[in-house]
Amino acid sequence: MKRKDFLKITALGVGAFGAGSLLTNAALSDSPQKVETPLETEGWLQEPPRQIPVVASADVVVAGGGPAGIAAAISAAREGASVILIEREYFLGGLWTGGLVLPVLDTRALNAEGEMTAVVRGVWSEIFDRALAMGMVTNFPDSPVVDPEACKYILEQMIQEAGVQLIYNSHASQLIMSGDRIQAIIVETKSGRVAIQGKTYVDCSGDGDLMNWAGEEFDIRKHDIGVMYRIGGAHGLNVGTPTPIAGVRNMWMRGESNEDGLNVFNQTRLELLMRKRMWEQTQELKASTGRDDIFLLETPSLLGVRLTRVLKGKGQVTFEGAINRKVYDDVIGYSGAQDNVVYNGITYRPHERPIWQIPYSALLPQRCPNLLVAGRCISFDEGLNYDAREVGTCFVTGQAAGVASALAANLRSSVQEVNIGKLQESLRKQNVYL
């Protein structure tokens, strides 16, 4: 779909980058445009114009600290860019750690010679090596399962080592646009509403928030919304997925199908329902096994939203292209396969499917010259609804977006003008599988 007209706040009198700068909103008309919203409305209010302080600036601003955002921030910093990473929670990892979606899927599949090959490397390989050295990863090589607290520790260490400026408890809420170009992100924080400026931006929000506010085109895809949770005291019990901690199992609960992950009232309803079910299911497991030592160890901090907005980009990855080993001149990485997928009436099983290429054009919006999209919002068709949103794939697209955004910022060019050969060269230096 083509997104509805969105209220664009225009910046007037923008000062130089830095904490002393102010962005002044233009006065809104007497009949303001309606902001796109998935909610039923009871009327509209007009927000008065006000000055917003610019509190930080960098070459690259990354919105969202999940797998894609982590890879984007670290890789951009390693390419020589100054980087700010904005995260709404108080931890890194997004749904991977906070949502307890602990198995890292889609890291392997068949290469051209029919051999099972690990294709998700780069930043992910470093995280894996550190977790392995700590004894905090298991079930590898196919679907490694990590310990969430160990990974939060590892991710913060790597972000700090890379020199990334991390800002927690910062919820991006709007953009300041200058034509098609992003001038700043408006962020709601405990310190108040502030602005953060960058030369280039990477949307790793999971829901395509930045591309939405920038006026880009996208599809809305509804999916089942579930949860994963951990139980303790399960020594010797073959339920769920094993974790690196003895006696701790990772459990999965599928939610209702075709759910709207952008509706806050619906999310609240599902959160209440799922937490009730997690508790009751654990009690039922105790009763059915006669194991009084089983207990509900941890419920997720984040609801398991799978898909919402999906970019209509300059290019698109398709399932047909993936299974037929389509080759792209602008390839920026590969992903693997995990789940059975039914496509055009044919069931494709993971061990029968090849690794597949991801082109740079799938990360590129149609218009905005300083925005890249990574994670589960890149441009892909519905046949890839499973593989394109998995943790492994998010690491791949995030790392590519990070390097490309740094190149664009360093050369003061648009993201559409990034030299593909230089991008691929830099990705290889960062141990990306090409």
Rounded Cα distance, 249 and 231, in Å: 6
* β strands within 190-345, DSSP E: 192-203, 218-220, 227-232, 241-242, 249-253, 295-298, 309-311, 331-335, 341-343
Let me know: does 63 contact 201? Beta carbons within 8 Å.
yes
Is 6 a member of any domain?
Answer: no
User: Cα(93)–Cα(148) distance, rounded to whole angstroms?
Assistant: 8
- Of 298, 326, 344, the one marking the end of a domain is 298
CA dist., res. 399 & res. 350, Å (int):
24
Same domain, 278 and 361: no
Is residue 7 domain-resident? no
We report the CATH number of the domain holding residue 117 as 3.50.50
**For residue 222, is it within any domain?**
no
- Do 367 and 425 have their domain in common? yes
In a domain, 78, yes or no: yes
Q: Are 124 and 336 in contact (CB under 8 A)?
A: no
Residue 37 in domain: no
Same-domain pairing of 281 and 384: no
Paired tokens of 266? 């619906």
Angle 302-350-116 from CA coordinates, rounded to 5°:
110
In a shared domain, residues 268 and 321? no
C-alpha 62, offset from chain centre: 11
Residue 196 located in a structural domain: no
Looking at the structure, do residues 91 and 115 belong to the same domain, yes or no? Answer: yes
Q: Same domain, yes or no, for 276 and 342?
A: no
Do 372 and 267 fall into the same domain? no
Please list the residues that pair with 135 across neighbouring strands. none
- State the pTM of this model: 0.91
| Residue at 399 is within a domain | yes
CB 177 within 8 A of CB 70: no
- Among the candidates 298, 316, 346, a domain finishes at 298
Look at residues 298, 327, 354 and tell me which one is the last residue of a structural domain: 298
Q: Which domain holds residue 88?
A: 67-166+307-429
Cα angle at 431 between 165 and 62, to 5 degrees? 25
Q: Are residue 271 and residue 374 in the same domain, yes or no?
A: no
Q: Locate tokens 């509706």: which residue? A: 263
Structure token digits, residue 283: 């009690």
In a domain, 187, yes or no: no
387 and 412 belong to one structural domain:
yes
Beta strands in 205-268, from DSSP E residues, in sequence order: 218-220, 227-232, 241-242, 249-253
Per-residue pLDDT of the chain (434 residues; tens, 9 = 90+): 433 332 233 232 233 333 333 343 332 233 333 345 578 889 999 989 889 999 999 999 999 999 999 999 999 999 999 999 999 999 999 999 999 999 999 999 999 999 999 999 999 999 999 999 999 999 988 889 999 999 999 999 999 999 999 999 999 999 999 999 999 999 999 999 999 999 999 999 999 999 999 999 999 999 899 999 999 999 999 999 999 999 999 999 988 889 999 999 999 999 999 999 999 999 999 999 999 999 999 999 999 999 999 999 999 999 999 999 999 999 999 999 987 888 788 888 888 899 999 999 999 999 999 999 999 999 999 999 999 999 999 999 999 999 999 999 999 999 999 999 999 999 999 999 99
The crossing angle, in degrees rounded to 10, of helices 67-78 and 148-161 is: 20
Please give the Cα distance from 150 to 280 (Å, whole number). 28
| CB neighbourhood size of 376 (10 A) | 31
Domain co-membership, 318 together with 254: no
Decide: helix, strand or coil at residue 68.
Answer: helix
Backbone angles phi, psi at 200, to 5 degrees: -130, 160
Overall domain count for the chain: 2
327/419 same-domain check: yes
Whether residue 312 is found in the same domain as residue 406: yes
Give the chain's radius of gyration (CA, Å).
22
